[in-house]
Amino acid sequence: MVTVTIDGIECQVAEGLNLVEAALTAGVEIPTFCYHPGLSIVGQCRICFVEIEGMPRLVTACSTPVNDGMVVHTASERVHEAREAVMEFLLANHPLDCPVCDQAGECFLQDFSMDHGADTTHMVDVKRTNKGYEQRNIGPHVVQNQNRCIHCTRCVRFTREISETHDLSLKSRGNHTYIDTFDGEPLDNPWSACVADVCPVGALTVREFRFRARVWHLKEDKSVCPGCSIGCAISVGHLNNTVHRFTPRANKEINGWWMCDHGRFLAELINERQVDSPLTRKGNE
């Protein structure tokens, strides 16, 4: 264990832990887009900048391990200015369609723009658009809107590291980079809908849940997936006695941060079950 001080709070954390996770032990949440605890670290979104005493430059918290005696500032003026700049660049091409975006209420970009963004912008150029990629089915369960993508590569890393199917990849370069399926094949692996879970914005959404309910109206209850004997931890989203979705609930020992499509879409069958009277068997059924 090592001792670190984060925003004036001294805490002991495991040696080698990154600053994002270490800050959580002190009750400090550092904003992240590209970082996910179940995926490799790439440090490319830069929203997690923090200031460390004794270091001349700001560092990315996700890729910086703790050291004994480290003193970290996550809300200094330098950090605030850096995060404002990052948010301005991310929003330079992002469409302002929050009212019609199915990710509204669960969007990292929406939340962080309020907490860390500026109320003005220097951008005067026309926003980049991806014609033909605004709303397309890239698989049986996932809908893509490339205009909303912030190139965090979470979805790409998921298909490389977790599903190991390599369905998604980055194509083109620079400002024209976009997410696409490999060789035009559909995103159709047993965990395909998880790419929508890891997407921090509304670029990838689950077709079965789109526009069924606003997430702030849903009630979320903890449960266990009924799909098999593994017992994946899930959250059941329901409204007015109707189940609208199953989503994975983090449980490192059982399912990590994921759940398979088979279990996820059993939510569609829950509403068809007769629960107010006993089932009866007919004939040899």
Give the pLDDT score at 244.
Answer: 94
**Lowest-pLDDT range of 115-124, 160-169, 205-214:** 115-124
- The dihedral built from the CA positions of residue 209, 212, 217 and 220, taken in this order, carries a sign that is negative
Please provide residue 32's backbone torsions phi and psi, each rounded to the nearest 5 degrees: -145, 150
Which of these, 74, 58, 68, 70, lies nearest to 24 by C-alpha position? Answer: 74
Say how many Å lie between the first and final Cα of the chain, rounded: 60
Which of these, 240, 246, 242, 285, lies nearest to 267 by C-alpha position? Answer: 246
Q: How far apart are CA 261 and CA 246, in angstroms?
A: 10
Number of Cβ atoms within 10 Å of the Cβ of 36: 18
78, containing H or E segment: helix 77-91
| Average confidence (pLDDT) over 197-226 | 94
Q: Would the pLDDT of 146 be above 70?
A: yes
Non-local (6+) Cβ contacts of 241 within 8 A are none
Q: How confident is the model at residue 279 (pLDDT cuts 50, 70, 90)?
A: low
State percent of the chain over pLDDT 90.
Answer: 75
Q: What is the full DSSP assignment across 115-130? A: HH--S-----SPPP--
Q: Would the pLDDT of 25 be above 80?
A: yes
Give the pLDDT score at 228.
Answer: 92
| Average confidence (pLDDT) over 62-79 | 95
Q: How confident is the model at residue 70 (pLDDT cuts 50, 70, 90)?
A: very high
Give the pLDDT score at 128.
Answer: 84
Tell how far CA 110 is from the center of its chain.
Answer: 13
Q: Would the pLDDT of 28 be above 90?
A: yes
Give me the half-sphere count of Cα atoms (radius 13 Å) on the Cβ side of residue 221: 9
Average pLDDT of the chain, as a whole number? 91
pLDDT digits (tens, 9 = 90+) for 118-140: 777 777 778 888 888 889 999 99
| Average confidence (pLDDT) over 213-241 | 94
Structure tokens at 133: 């990629």
Buried (b) or exposed (e) across 56-71, using 16+ Cβ within 10 A? eebbbbbbbebeeebe
Strands 2-6 and 71-73: parallel
